[in-house]
Structure 1
């Protein structure tokens, strides 16, 4: 069974996507391999019209904690799909499926592998979206004594940094999901109109909180040539950093951090464990085994 998750081009890294091999290899030892005839669709906003093509060789697909979104439309849910749980109620509604399939994002199972530490290094830390991550935000955070969490770091490094922070300011959704799972309060931040609010609303609904993001300016966009750091743009960049630092500090001081209740996050974790056991039982019973030829 092949693990299906989003991989950025050119070897680029993103924490939310990289949680997949890190988490599932620990929770499902001996289950995942490179056999494309069965697919395990895991963490990410993967349930859209591109999924059938991405898993074109799979005759059966196990879906676990995935969310609906991106691309255009959703595929027909036929007998090739065995859906154990989805990210939230907006995903089940979009697919026309039973509410009971809305549990929460699969990344919450990290709670069973990582224990939050007591040692805190930063009062606040900012984690940008991977598309906007870079030295600009690092400079901003350093200027005001905030921690900087780069979603392109290794999975372990990001998890450790989140655990060492009192309040995470998160534009990267899985920064907020992991913070909530580890009982670290968080504030949703938006610096770009490309952030998909649907996926945030979907997950937030699953853990009983409202998605009310705080807007702030971006520092730079590495995709735009005008934002590349050159001698000509050095002064402009410095002014952006200074302005963004001031805004981020005010945002942190004025915003009310969010945290789901201990009871609900534990309930969702137990539900995920139960669904994962169902999947393991199906694997053991041969549900996903290729027919003998």
Structure 2
């Protein structure tokens, strides 16, 4: 069985995507190899027309998003749970399959702490982190808040979120982990490359509204286009070709404006946090679905001849 998740080119690490091997290797040790006969789809907006064909396809907590079309769900698919009701509706499957994002299972693997180091921290979307690079640290310093880079290693991001009192973020899986670890959060929207559908999908599962706060975009670096993934090559090319003097002059002005906005949002906005009973209920439900998956494996459901 092969674990399928999005991987950025050039070895770029992204927290939301790389949660997959970190999480599933701990919850399902020894299950995954390079056998493409069965595909396991977990964390991410992966349910699109890019899914590789397989004898059987397992879906556990993923959601609809990106791509230019929906996958064809047939008898070869086994959906244990989806990110939210919007994904279930889009795929035309039973609403009972909508539980929540499987990243919530981090609650069972990472010990929460009451020790807080940062009052506020900001975590941008991966594409924006690539574009802004080290300038984000300057922006956050000017705003008086900590910076969490989605390109950091999993344990470093988990620790940084866990030690923060309130997380401001464009990165949805940063927010999902924050909510799972009981860290209040404020969603940030900076450009049309943020995909509201997946936010509404997940928020529907935890019974909260997606009400992002707007921060001015990095205008000169955000190319027009249908989605973050499709613009990645442009982003990397832009960063590679632009003279350093351009970035210094550009960021000096833009960073001040963004820092002011972030600081104001941090001080005046009411953060969101799902109900403790609700998030625990969802965690238990994910565990029950995971147990069913284990039982199906033991019964040979995913054998090549099954």
TM-score (norm 2): 0.91
- Structure 2: give runs of 5+ residues left out of the alignment: 222-234
Structure 1 vs Structure 2 CA RMSD: 1.6
Q: Using the TM superposition, name which of 3-12 and 137-146 deviates more.
A: 137-146
Distance 1:80 1:246 in 2: 52
- Structure 1: give runs of 5+ residues left out of the alignment: none
Aligned match for 2:248, one of 227, 231, 234 = 234
Conserved? CA contact 1:229–1:237, under 8 Å: no
Report the equivalent of 1:158.
157
| 1:248 pairs with 2:262 | yes
Conserved? CA contact 2:41–2:57, under 8 Å: yes
After TM superposition, give the deviation of residue 218 of structure 1 in Å: 3.1
Distance 1:42 1:269 in 2: 15
Conserved? CA contact 2:144–2:263, under 8 Å: no
Report the equivalent of 1:22.
22
After TM superposition, give the deviation of residue 101 of structure 1 in Å: 0.3
Distance 1:252 1:171 in 2: 14
Aligned match for 1:225, one of 201, 217, 238 = 238
Q: How does 1:32-71 map to 2 (within 5 A)?
A: 32-51=32-51, 55-56=52-53, 58-71=54-67
Distance 1:228 1:260 in 2: 42
Distance 1:232 1:280 in 2: 54
After TM superposition, give the deviation of residue 223 of structure 1 in Å: 4.5
After TM superposition, give the deviation of residue 224 of structure 1 in Å: 6.9
Distance 2:99 2:156 in 1: 27
Per the alignment, in what secondary structure is the counterpart of residue 218 of structure 1? coil
TM-score (norm 1): 0.95
Report the equivalent of 2:224.
none
Distance 1:147 1:224 in 2: 28
Distance 2:216 2:3 in 1: 36
In the TM superposition, what whole-angstrom CA distance separates every residue of 1:22-59 from its partner, at most 9, and x where no partner exists?
A: 000000011111111111111000111111xxx22x20
